[in-house]
Structure 1
């Protein structure tokens, strides 16, 4: 038939062009990011079914230990700890476990370190006994290859034996933070909490060596003036030299129990572990978390009066203006939004502080409005719930940004939100960000 050859050739050309445009076997492009997201679609998958009671918006405040969900977001990839192991999942909750060396037990959230191409996990490891020496405990850094395809593997480990013994299954481990410590080095700070013991260690991610071990010290905030991406943040105070970064935490006497033992807030050099300052000595029920690029927020009960207090300290221990808690019986939980705001939420009040000056920005309840029970905050958005369901409010003003966002995540980034699932099996629901 006349023209048939030209038609066939045109079809072949169109198919070839379409194949070229599709990228052949390349991975599909990620969905659009929302910074910050203020709306979420229906759950696309559920992790850790049967564990919903551990992931509510109510958090323990004993020495800063919190049953935060053991999950971390890395774009559209989810890293999580489950039954002592570490796994990677996609937004549908399809998981790939990481093959860990024998005898490791991970209970806290892994932490992606994009600049190092790693995902860090803190492991409690039993040290075998010998002769008359009983088995001991070690805190170990597990460095996992950061990949969203193929099988993630453990690239290297760094272990720090501790001067006390507990079952590795009875302690809680955490990667508190990673600091840019000068000379191109990154130092990770890991912590472990047991019934009557706690300890923290510093690990150099470049030399893969343990730099220091601080027994009786529970790290809560790593301050280096930078955000999670390693870039300096506005208003940050970054001391010159390789000794600039500071880790702030609660120092508790040996054998001290949760909540009642007189303790202190201590700042350590993140490279050497040397003490830089001590504050709030004699306080109890201390919690420490990051309040901004160069500051930490401390909650607890005052020495002598047992009244609840909340304070913000600079990286050198210098105090910011005090925060009035009124008649609150315990300090609220506070979350830095990784930008410019720290949001604190207790049973009857939620308020926001400027992340640099610590000045009060807003407080609820006020003017006929109820306070949201905060689940988390990120990049200027505060996520939480009220009697009306999930809500997103503005971190700088406290005004509603979306009265019906579809979810109240406890972990969030530009692509996904993760929060408690529904139904009898609960778990953690993964919800895609839609706006």
Structure 2
């Protein structure tokens, strides 16, 4: 597995929770770095293919991207075939008297043959000449479209790619896309005519960018958006600057609130178990679970519970919650919160029905463990 990918996992010194840049299909691992997508047979550790963008990535851009959050590839079905979406920030070549800049190159790769079947190129926002001011995310994909969030300093844009034509279908400025759920692009939108920079939350139709709903209540300003599975998103609300008192779940299709969890600590990350449950947590301080469609609360506990220790959640899969309490790996029942297994050696950071990927101390080496 590429060194950059191992260094990015949440258990490493430089890792960031919920941003491990891999996707799994059967026993195959797709590991994305800033330079290439590496396809690995998890049963043997052998590399099956390494796929790089067509455009170049200069030294300045490489140094800058090494400091940014890793971006996970997305596995989806396109016209009956499984494909992997892999985005890269690349240099825009100088042409004649036209100044260069930077682009996002989005590759569509056949998950069976590992051939590149699509290549879309998207311009970064204007004035994107200094690499130190750039960032981007592959936010999600649905309805044969992929969503990219593009940022140059404080200029925010969302661009949507039609994966059949490999063309940009719509773009909106002043919108910070955070998640894709229920065919809606959910994100922060600048509040017009505000005395100070202020943002609300809105949902845009992934097909054409039409505004589906807009939350403009001033109490929502600056409330962070937390992705929460295929149908929901959450808002952390409070006085801001990290002082949040409530965690509210909303329907991504309508913007209607589904659940309000008031009190502290407030969750800041959620994971979907790819079946029916969303598990939300705050580091190793609190954990709880919700129905993925309705947002109904199933269970919760936090570090104020005298009888239990809240685990650091690392992954969820088909009714199981994986994590660790200190050096001890644990598995919880995602529907009840009860302990299932309390003696696993390493908690996985990515898994499916074939393999689980975990890490020993210090982030090396990668260990691929059978789960089926």
Aligning the two structures, in what range does the TM-score lie when normalised by the shorter sequence?
0.7 to 0.9
1:189 aligns with 2:147: yes
User: What pairs up with 1:249-398 in 2 under 5 angstroms?
Assistant: 249-251=187-189, 262-279=198-215, 283-284=221-222, 286-291=224-229, 293-299=230-236, 301-302=238-239, 306-314=243-251, 315-324=253-262, 326-328=263-265, 331-347=267-283, 348-365=285-302, 366=305, 368-387=307-326, 389-398=328-337
Distance 1:103 1:50, change over 3 A: closer
User: What pairs up with 1:31-42 in 2 under 5 angstroms?
Assistant: none
Please point out which of 413, 419, 422 is paired with 2:352.
413
| TM superposition score normalised by structure 1 | 0.70
CA–CA distance in 2 between the matches of 1:360 and 1:59?
Answer: 33
Larger strand proportion, structure 1 or 2? 2
Bigger relative contact order (CA 8 A; separation at least 6): 1
Residues 11-62 of structure 1: CA deviation (Å, up to 9, x unaligned): xxxxxxxxxxxxxxxxxxxxxxxxxxxxxxxxxxxx23476553225999xx
CA–CA distance in 1 between the matches of 2:101 and 2:17?
Answer: 25
CA–CA distance in 1 between the matches of 2:306 and 2:344?
Answer: 23
Partner of 1:100: 53
| TM superposition score normalised by structure 2 | 0.81
Q: State the shift of 1:200 in Å.
A: 2.5
Give 5+ residue unaligned stretches, structure 1.
1-46, 181-185, 225-244, 255-259
CA–CA distance in 1 between the matches of 2:153 and 2:110?
Answer: 32
User: What pairs up with 1:151-300 in 2 under 5 angstroms?
Assistant: 152-164=114-126, 165=128, 167=130, 171-180=134-143, 186-193=144-151, 195-224=153-182, 245-251=183-189, 262-279=198-215, 283-284=221-222, 286-291=224-229, 293-299=230-236
Residues 128-186 of structure 1: CA deviation (Å, up to 9, x unaligned): 456886433333321122226xxx33222122223231556874543322213xxxxx2
Distance 1:215 1:308, change over 3 A: farther
CA–CA distance in 1 between the matches of 2:321 and 2:306?
Answer: 19
CA–CA distance in 2 between the matches of 1:390 and 1:318?
Answer: 37
Instruction: State the Cα RMSD in Å.
Output: 3.3
Contact 1:127 1:137 in 2 (8 A): yes
CA–CA distance in 2 between the matches of 1:87 and 1:51?
Answer: 10
User: What pairs up with 1:123-162 in 2 under 5 angstroms?
Assistant: 123-129=88-94, 134-147=99-112, 152-162=114-124
Residues 196-247 of structure 1: CA deviation (Å, up to 9, x unaligned): 34432211222222111233333232223xxxxxxxxxxxxxxxxxxxx211
CA–CA distance in 2 between the matches of 1:375 and 1:417?
Answer: 11
Residues 339-379 of structure 1: CA deviation (Å, up to 9, x unaligned): 22111111411111122222221112446111111112121
Contact 2:125 2:152 in 1 (8 A): no
Distance 1:79 1:193, change over 3 A: farther
Question: SS state of the match for residue 157, structure 1?
Answer: strand
Question: SS state of the match for residue 404, structure 1?
Answer: strand
Distance 1:211 1:52, change over 3 A: same
Distance 1:73 1:363, change over 3 A: same
Distance 1:338 1:168, change over 3 A: farther
Distance 1:52 1:147, change over 3 A: closer
Contact 2:22 2:32 in 1 (8 A): yes
Distance 1:66 1:264, change over 3 A: farther
1:401 aligns with 2:364: no
CA–CA distance in 2 between the matches of 1:169 and 1:69?
Answer: 23
Distance 1:216 1:407, change over 3 A: farther
Distance 1:117 1:380, change over 3 A: closer
Distance 1:50 1:113, change over 3 A: closer
CA–CA distance in 1 between the matches of 2:237 and 2:56?
Answer: 35
Q: State the shift of 1:337 in Å.
A: 1.6
Q: State the shift of 1:276 in Å.
A: 1.6
Larger Rg: 1
Partner of 1:54: 8
